[in-house]
Structure 1
Amino acid sequence: MKTLSSWMLLALLCVPVCASVAHAADDPAAQRLLQRLQALDADPVQSGFAHYERLQARQAVDAYANARGDRAQPLQVAEWRVETAETAARTEAIRREIGELDRERSDLLVEASRQEAARARQEAERMRVQAQIQAEEAARLRMAAESEFSARQEAEIVLDGVASDQAAKLRAARAREAELARREAELMRAVEDED
């Protein structure tokens, strides 16, 4: 159904052109208007747009070419219709381009979002690894501090033990010295008593 309507529209566009070309051969204004329409049809960007407006423009050019008597008004209408067809085709082409640019912009925004998300994931991973390294370093330092603390405590216990042993030995030596001094004194008295 769509193909049939396309062929009908194409036929409608072609018939007025053929008729207009025949009548416009002698009229430079009609030739100029037909050349503008042909240029519009030949433009690869705009040729697919404004079919209805181009049909109206061809009909207006044909009406001008077939007009008798005062032809100023039909010429003005034909010029307006051709200009309207050109403007409508340009407008539709620009709209299509804007739509394509919007889609491209959306695609670029999506890609930028993807890249930003990938960068955020990489940064999060980098920060996680850095935090893990810092946690491992803190654990290592804590273990070293605990080991040093344990070693210091052991050293203090050993020193306390050594000091206790030395103090006990010192007390024992003093006690023995005192005992010896007492015995010596007793012997001295005994010697003196004998004399």
Structure 2
Amino acid sequence: MTRGRKPDTDEQQAAKGNPGKRLSQKEVETARTKAPIPVTVGKIRPPKWLKRSRKATEVWNDLAPQLERLNLLSNLDASPFARYCRYVVEWIAADVTVQKEGTWFNGKDTNGNETKKRHPAFVAVQQLEKMLGDMEASFGMRPDTRYKIMRDQAAAHGLGNLPLWGDQQPLQPSSSAANEDAPPAAAEPADLIGILGGMNSPPPERMN
């Protein structure tokens, strides 16, 4: 049986250079093991302790930019949201354990009789889900709470009630003292994304 060519050592690869722009084996292993860095989103800096968890950092890097674009994340929110990212990782770990070991396990009651008990990982999943649900509501990560937050932001800009998805009725300013002799104002965008897309700064009284 013919054997393949013996791979070059790191020293041999260094001597050859890198004409094909390919990573060396050592560089590939370093890239795989190197922990991701939590990104700074706008002026929002993640807490330093977040980088201790690779998976929590990945959750931050995925969600933080999306929340910041919607003005749903500020510097004051960085630590609570980082904790949310850590709790997500804990929920995933507990859920994986439940998938492998099941919801119940065999145990004994106080009298020494055989009985079925809830797996501690399943209890953890339930507790974490409630905690995550409350935090997701606070950060506008559910459709109902996100719409409410955006509606309040629009009201702060004097836009009155926001239309629901697909409702193309034009928005009217909340003030009733409109001047009939004034020239017609430019039509406001009729959809929620169009309204918030025109807001280049956080809503009034929002701390940066």
Normalised by the length of structure 1, the TM-score is 0.26
Normalised by the length of structure 2, the TM-score is 0.25
Higher RCO (Cα < 8 Å, 6 or more apart): 1
Which of the two has higher C-alpha Rg? 1
Say which structure is richer in strand: 2
